[in-house]
Copies of this chain bind each other. A is one copy, B any other.
């Protein structure tokens, strides 16, 4: 017979014949409670099917045991995989994940964060290192620990878990140059409010400069990170009178879309146009031709972000993070000239 309304800790204490305080301690700090008492509380909990009230607990303890994450979007596979790892790891550590997105509209992030703060969380996970002042102020004001993910930054002011987009882009551009390409286009993603995109452009440009090459501004194509963005990029570079021999894409999604557009326009990859990606999603090894890309530690970012953020909440000693490794994956979509 379940009681008509949700049992409270007081019900548990009464049934167990102990005080409210002891019942609370039995659940939260069992080490401070005699085995006998513990056992009686345990039995009462079981008998009543008691479940703590998170709201009351949160109000009294000022801890919610939940972490919020704000992503640009949830439906990019790179984020979906990482979010999955984040959620699993948080779960193992005893935390829940509250999730939100701003659809690549950085200006909305403040509102989203405000709603989340109102809801109550112990810490937040953000993507990238560029956020509005409002975001950082809110975090400071409410003493919310946060970790910046995906892009690693040296600055000691914030914890970050990720890799250097600059370095990754530099490596790819160097590889492309070493294959003899001189006319190089970049499908970079949309730079506004996105530090990763800007780092990618800068890294690409730097590597080309070392090779004595130039990244022409008309060949930097800003497109969303999806298949269609890749298609558009191909259309764009084909519309000029001069044509590049390679298109470096900021995500594999763009690259796959670009390959598809080439196929429908009868352009051979890599013979007529080489295409490279970034991320090394599973699909990269499945398309024809297989994608030359950069492997990034998608799952590991989720796992480490979870651990880091929990460590911050719990006031643990924080090891200094190092930038994570990326790795060129050379496959057929990049040809030699």
Contacts and interface: CB of A to CB of B under 8 A. Distances in A.
Contacts of A58: 54-55, 58
A263 interface: yes
Interface string A256-288: 110010010000000000000000001100111
A183 interface: no
Given A55-B59, A117-B51, A74 B66 contact: no
A165 interface: no
Nearest to A61: B55
A38 to B, nearest CB: 19
Interface in A88-107: 88, 91, 96-101, 103
A309 B307 CA distance: 32
Interface stretch (A78-86, A149-157, A212-220): A78-86
A282 B55 CA distance: 41
A119 B54 contact: yes
Contacts of A287: 286-287
A51 B114 contact: yes
A97 B96 contact: no
Interface of A: 2, 6, 49, 51-56, 58-59, 64-66, 73-77, 79-81, 83-84, 87-88, 91, 96-101, 103, 112, 114-120, 141-142, 226-227, 256-257, 260, 263, 282-283, 286-288
